[in-house]
Amino acid sequence: MRRETGLTGEVTAHQACLGIVQDLMARYGWRLLPADVLVERVLDAASPVASPTELKRLVKHQYTLVLYEACLQAERPDRREQGYRELFRFLFQVAYNRWPELAEDVTQRALVLIYEQIDRCRSPGAFLAFALNKLRHAFQQEHRARGDNLPLEPIVEGSVPSPSASLDRRERAQVLIEALHRLSDERQREVIVLKFFGGLSDEAIGDRLGITAGHVRVLRHRGIARLREDEALREYFAPGAL
């Protein structure tokens, strides 16, 4: 719902959001949606006290929905082509930062996987996470095609994770965050975030939310049960991982 604030507050929020939108559009070459339209969509979805970090997340989320629609539809080939061009640019930047010598080939492979399997992306808001997952698969395919053996790195405290491992954790975290935002019960979402991201005990969570520790456990169990039913998570998490 659109915020109801004074003119000064609306102008400030609009200016802040517009700056974020213009920065991201320049960085990623976004052309599927005019800046002012994207700003309006974000402000419609934002809370009245949204921070710059939250606004940036909402900008990416709203544009991800647009990008998904453009790549999925077939009625306008020019728009779909633009969508895949933008997706290539995004994935290439990620790939180049991790595997510069393979970035071009890996990104091309990833686009083919995305084109062939886009119907498996059951949550439009998680489309970029879905694309990153395919980028990781493309990296593995490229290694096999070249006859290379992926190094088996020991998991020890303080060790530096491989690029593919870092990418995997990043995309899984993004998909999980999207799923948490889809939980209709705000209390369930708060309890899960405080427990697994904040590291608080049930008693501490109960004190913060003004409920008993037993109620905290009930909310957590119900929230996790709903997350297990989220189809978008099944692409990234094995049964029993949640």
CA distance 29 to 166: 25
The residue among 237, 219, 216 whose CA lies nearest residue 228 is 237
pTM for the whole thing? 0.61
Q: What is the rounded CA–CA span in Å between residue 196 and residue 201? A: 10
pLDDT at 144 over 70: yes
Average pLDDT of the segment spanning 3-12: 51
Q: Is pLDDT of 242 > 90? A: no
pLDDT at site 91? 92
The answer to whether the beta carbons of residues 62 and 32 sit under 8 Å apart is no
Give the pLDDT score at 21: 95
| pLDDT the model gives residue 118 | 93
Q: Residues 32-68: pLDDT tens digits?
A: 999 999 999 999 988 877 788 888 889 999 999 999 9
pLDDT in tens, 88-125: 999 998 888 888 888 889 999 999 999 999 998 888 98
pLDDT in tens, 178-198: 778 888 888 898 898 888 877
Q: How confident is the model at residue 237 (pLDDT cuts 50, 70, 90)?
A: low
| Cβ 135 vs Cβ 107: under 8 Å | yes
205 against 230, higher pLDDT? 205
Across the chain, mean pLDDT equals 81
pLDDT at 233: 67
| Fold exhibited by the domain 183-242 | Arc Repressor Mutant, subunit A (1.10.10)
SS3 track for 31-59:
CCCCHHHHHHHHHHHCCCCCCHHHHHHHH
Asked which of 108-112, 211-215, 230-234 is least confident by mean pLDDT, the reply is 230-234
Question: Phi, psi at residue 207, to the nearest 5°?
Answer: -65, -40
Residue 177 has pLDDT above 50, yes or no: yes
Q: Mean pLDDT throughout 140-159?
A: 56
- For residue 176, report the phi and psi dihedrals to the nearest 5 degrees: -65, -40
- How far apart CA 52 and CA 109 sit, in angstroms, is 35
Tell me the C-alpha to C-alpha distance, in Å, between residue 241 and each of 3, 136, 164, 236. 38, 20, 19, 10
pLDDT bracket for residue 131 (50, 70, 90): very high
Domain ranges of the chain: 183-242
Q: What is the pLDDT of residue 195?
A: 85
Q: What percent of the chain has pLDDT over 70?
A: 79
Of 109-113, 119-123, 162-166, 224-228, where does mean pLDDT reach its minimum?
162-166
pLDDT of residue 35: 95
